[in-house]
Chain A
Amino acid sequence: MKKQKKNLYLVASLCLSALLLLEGCANTNGSIVSNDDPYEEVNRSVFGFNASVDNYVGKPVSAAYDYITPDLVQTGIGNFFSNLKDINVVLNDVMQGKLLQAGQDTGRFLLNTSVGLAGIFDVATMVGLEKHNEDFAQTLGVWGVPKGPYLVLPLIGPATTRGIPGMVFDAAANPATYVPFPIRSLELLNMRTQKAGTFKIIKEGALDPYLFTRESFLQSRKYLVTDGEVELTDDIDLDSSIDETDFGK
């Protein structure tokens, strides 16, 4: 019985990780193959599956959770798990050679863990220690490891081949990985609820949610690896297309 219950939590936990996938439906078959996405056909199928799981499990469960949980509690839960991830952020700061940032993030973690009551309150942000976003996939990018093809993983969502060892490392370094499943599920549920706005934007705004998700994921990851630098080469590419279509004539 106990084992059954544990398995149930495992299934629930996996289903709730659908927060990481961005919903939509596989509505076109990929005959235009993007260099970043050679496995588009398979990826689209997985994307469709993930979207269904989110639609039937993630979305209704998260809506119920949102209904019964006050915003303040949701923020506290989000802060608690975000604080645990700061350990990971510090490790990646060091591996990327960002020593000053590593010092700030260590201070952030210590302050939130103590004064912020185990991270429930984000006191560090209030005093100007801003949250940084670093993970092992970014570190690999900084080290020059190519991102590799785009992948959509079942129940996890968008990734690149570089992101897979990144996810394993980040999971190993995150204390939340070692907590019992019900608590882990709470983190996933809370994240899914807080991301509801993003899901809505994609559903309402995208003509092809798969492409919308892929492009925004790849661009966003690139932005994180380069620490927010907008490369002018991207704009030159756009400029080229402008010239090709005889703009200004």
Chain B
Amino acid sequence: MLIPLQNKLFLLVITSIFLNITMSTAEAKSATAKQVVVRFQANVLKVMKQGKKLGFEGRYKRLEKAINESHDLTKITRVVIGREWGNLSEEQQQQLITVFTKLSIAAYAYNFKDFSGEAFHFDSEEKTTRGGMIIHTHLTIPKDKSVTFDYMLKEKNGQWGIINIIANGVSDLALKRSEYTKILKEQGFDMLLLKLNEKIKTYEK
């Protein structure tokens, strides 16, 4: 039985999409925690190298993809909000995730704007007792001391996502958590959102 050309094309497209999805899923599944971190660091360095040329908006666009692919920002938002998360409406939770994601990317785009020979190096990896992974790395900076970067990752739906970065022993998650939970508890949701949006504007300027 002959299949009309249009149907053939349709089948081809469907097969391609199916194969593409399967391959993407397999690729995502095969990305180890270490690979997620190494890829993210490579992306950051790439953006830094072209930092001036790209400008803030260009860096933001590039980093948006890199950060969304490597970080579990929904999970991070929930952790930094702590127990108060359950007291927020679904709409408020979504608002926080959106603003927090935007702030995280803006902070990277603002701070990683130029390159002066920095390089990331992988040191080791270890499993946490609850099935997470910690990837130990360090950043070398010419004419300056190295900075250790330890990444904590969790697996969700077969994909590893960064949920915390510890730089020279200082946990980004713990810092944010202490600030956010206090503001949320004492000044309320609207004030927290306002302060986060103010920070985004500071970075955009």
**B186 x A28 contact (CB < 8 A):** yes
Name the B residues within 8 Å of A216 (CB-CB).
170, 175
Verify if B166 is at the interface (C-beta below 8 Å from A).
yes
Cα A204 to Cα B107 in complex, Å, equals: 9
Which single member of A212, A234, A235 contacts B175 (CB below 8 Å)? A212
Verify if B78 is at the interface (C-beta below 8 Å from A).
yes
**A245 x B79 contact (CB < 8 A):** yes
Nearest CB of chain A from residue B106's CB, rounded to whole Å: 11
Secondary structure call for the B interface: helix
Name the B residues within 8 Å of A178 (CB-CB).
none
Q: Number of residues in B with C-beta < 8 Å to the partner? A: 48
Q: With contacts defined as CB atoms under 8 Å apart, how many contacts are there between chain A and chain B in the complex?
A: 113
Verify if B53 is at the interface (C-beta below 8 Å from A).
no
Verify if B8 is at the interface (C-beta below 8 Å from A).
no
Verify if B28 is at the interface (C-beta below 8 Å from A).
no
Instruction: Write 30 A-B pairs (CB below 8 A) sorted by A numbering.
Output: A28-B186, A34-B178, A201-B111, A204-B203, A206-B179, A207-B179, A207-B195, A208-B182, A211-B179, A212-B175, A212-B178, A212-B179, A216-B170, A220-B168, A222-B169, A223-B168, A223-B169, A223-B170, A228-B168, A230-B150, A230-B166, A238-B79, A238-B163, A238-B171, A239-B129, A242-B79, A242-B163, A244-B83, A247-B79, A247-B156
Task: Mark B residues whose CB is within 8 Å of A.
Answer: 75, 78-79, 82-83, 85-86, 107, 110-111, 126, 128-130, 132, 134, 136, 145, 148, 150, 152, 154, 156, 163-164, 166, 168-171, 173-175, 178-183, 185-187, 192, 195-196, 199, 202-203
